[in-house]
Amino acid sequence: MKVEKWVDECAELTKPDNIYWCDGSEEEAYSLIKIGIEKEKINGNPVFYELNQKKWPNAYLHRSHPEDVARTEHLTYVCHQEKETSGPNNNWMDPKEAKNMLNPLFKGCMKGRTMYVLPYMMGNPESPYSKACVQLTDSSYVAISKRIMTRKGKAALEKIGSSSNFVKGLHSTGDFSPERRFIMHFPDESLVWSIGSGYGGNALLGKKCFSLRIASYLGLKENWLAEHMVIMGIEDESSTTYITAALPSACGKTNLAMLNPSLPGYKISTIGDDIAWLNIGSDKRLYAINPEMGFFGVAPGTSEKTNPNMIQTLKKGTFYPTLFTNTALNPKTNEPWWDGLENIPENLIDWKGNPSSSKESAHPNSRFTVSITQCPTLSPEFNNPKGVPISAIIFGTRRSSVAPLIYEAFNWQNGIFQGCGMASETTTAATQKAGVLRRDPMAMWPFCGYNMADYFNHWLNMGKMMENPPKIFFVNWFRKDEGGNFLWPGFSENIRVLKWIIDRTKGKVGAKETPIGLIPDFKDLDLRGLNINEKGLFKIDKDEWQKELADIKAFLTQFKLAGWIEEEYKALASRLAK
Ligand code: SAT
Ligand code: MN
């Protein structure tokens, strides 16, 4: 269906007062901000507040509806024709039934409001891997966020032309009620319907909904991968090595993507902090592009110390606005505040708009939305249509015990198997209890748009299609000692771990074999100047790992698994039994 016809149909259903086609221009961004400041309301309050423009140029504060602060995984559905195709990892509803259920919610939901038509590209329009999309929304916050996070504007419409080949997203904030909130994916139609939330992952439909859930399914059919990954370059004295790293939400991907190396002689370049599309090039190597144009990162903990490059990015101020969502506000200076910035001011306004003096006055999942073009470490390869060649893949978890700081898989198949069983402690990025261990294969549990049993095989097959598949590594920055203190300093010191990874990809250093994989010889891991308990960081506790084995088994048995997974499982069990 052509764009205009689809827009008309959606307008017929939702009945907006006006329809506004966005062109992605600078003036348009200002006029949308103005609408958000002066006209549109959420819960009776303005959508945007202007912040101190001297200190935070072009920055605005947004307070969400208080019940709309994170992804809602229990209200997110992937509606393939068959339940089996969605798998045990997704909520499922028959597509017809889903539309019948949502139709009454969308009916007339934009009365008295404006429908913004947002044409946008995921990826450089010049890239064979990019995709053209159109999102409809009744939220100025979403319209502006998409300008920051995607390549919004005419290029997408030009790309689409008169074809019906584009990704469709219909979004309304509805009445914000979690009772009437649904994020519904229809992969067969490359279509998303989302209602009841304005939160990033629920409402910016180019992000998790398309670039991961729907794109992962396209990837299965077209031999590529859509992954929840950082893409970065690490330059040493001889060359730049590109890697990707998958970590669950709110586990430090943004900090990693632009880390400030503590070791001399290293330089980081940033390509992406959340999503990687991985394709096999004509030379049979793996290449990564970041389909996004911005960062949607967690504010609390972001500081001069943990991520100076992000503070610079946020303060740069160009014609892209910068949004702060649900941070606290220092009313005296009209600046955003969260734990991590300079000392706590005497008086604060918390994320809900109430006076506060607490360190927790920003919501733990409060976020910034900022253009990647403002990042001082942005890679010159960011716009390369081919992407960058990947030498190593990292799977990272947040675990206070069990998982060592770093280890390397024995080979591709072994690495994919261990990726399938990986687990991480939950965070506030989704409305769930935080700190609970859950299995999160490749950090994709909430984002894989089809049956994960098929996803595991797809990963294996991708390896077979490459000539020299990247080496696979596992990291855990979050291990703690008996006293509950982190064993690893993290942040800029993570370069020490990345250095080992690069040295391994270049064949410069050996490794020690353990039952779970290869760990560094301590002489090869540069820990100079740190006071580190290596034994604690690398301990592989037999009892803990026996329990881990049982947990992995219990998790994997919900899938119909191919033989290679069982083989790898048995081999791991027997190595651990020795
Ligand atoms: O889902 S978001 O993209 O809003 C943030 C995250 O959970 O990774
Ligand atoms: Mn994410």
- DSSP string covering 10-78, please? HHHHH--SEEEE----HHHHHHHHHHHHHT-EETTEES-EE--TTTSTTEEEE---TT-SSB-GGGEEE
Rounded-to-10 torsion of CA 512, 513, 516, 521? 0
Q: What is the pTM (predicted TM-score) of this model?
A: 0.98
pLDDT-derived band at 22, boundaries 50, 70, 90: very high
Q: Is the pLDDT of residue 44 over 80?
A: yes
> Residues 191-237: pLDDT tens digits?
999 999 999 999 999 999 999 999 999 999 999 999 999 999 999 99
**Element spanning 547, H or E:** helix 542-556
295 lines ligand 1 (CB under 6 A): no
71 lines ligand 1 (CB under 6 A): yes
Indicate if 251 belongs to the active site.
Answer: yes
Q: What is the pLDDT of residue 107?
A: 98
Which one is catalytic: 251, 375, 420, 448? 251
367 lines ligand 1 (CB under 6 A): no
Question: Using alpha carbons only, what angle is made at residue 104 by residues 101 and 107, rounded to the nearest 5 degrees?
Answer: 140
Instruction: Determine phi and psi for 276, rounding to 5 degrees.
Output: -125, 135
Nearest-CA residue for atom 4 of ligand 1? 201
CA distance 514 to 529: 27
Q: What is the pLDDT of residue 342?
A: 82
> Residues 478-495: pLDDT tens digits?
999 999 999 999 999 999
Instruction: Determine phi and psi for 320, rounding to 5 degrees.
Output: -85, 130
351 lines ligand 1 (CB under 6 A): no
Q: How far is the CA of 296 from the centre of ligand 2 (A)?
A: 8
Closest CA to 278 of 221, 227, 218, 240: 227
Measured in whole angstroms, how far is the alpha carbon of residue 318 from the centre of its chain? 24
Closest CA to 164 of 20, 5, 11: 5
